[in-house]
Amino acid sequence: MTAPVSVKLLDPRAKLPAYGSSDAAGADLYALTDGPVTIAPGQTVLIHTGIALAIPQGYAGLVCARSGLATKEGLAPANKVGVIDADYRGELMVSLYNQSTVNRIVEHGDRIAQLVITPYLTAQFAPVDELDDTQRGAGGFGSTGVN
């Protein structure tokens, strides 16, 4: 399923998000830098993308790690998954955290994260005295098994 998402290029060097394959759920986001950006171990740096989006109402943009970048280089979004609301029109930026033990360098045009556009539900929270019973109940933090 495809849907149009308006993208404003805020800088002529900015790149549109792009899917790496026909069945990819996430579109790559690209760094917009004036030169190499060094991210020290344990450091978080805000990386520009140079784009703004008009996400359709009823949808959200999820900024997720690129698995190869996170696994091989130790660079992933600091907030793990960033949420872009449909009414946000500012620049999309990625807060990259270096979880490795060595300096990592981000260059202009590097793929730094992936964007997943997904529908969401707006909950109507209702207070109750009791919740319905389930097999799991209140068990959490590994209560359903080790593996």
Q: What is the pLDDT of residues 19-34, one digit of tens each?
A: 999 999 999 999 999 9
- State the pLDDT at residue 1: 75
- State the pLDDT at residue 28: 97
pLDDT beneath 50, residues of the chain:
none
- State the pLDDT at residue 146: 62
50: Cα separation from own chain's centroid:
15
- State the pLDDT at residue 5: 95
Domains of the chain and CATH, by start:
6-119 (2.70.40.10)
- State the pLDDT at residue 140: 79
- State the pLDDT at residue 147: 62
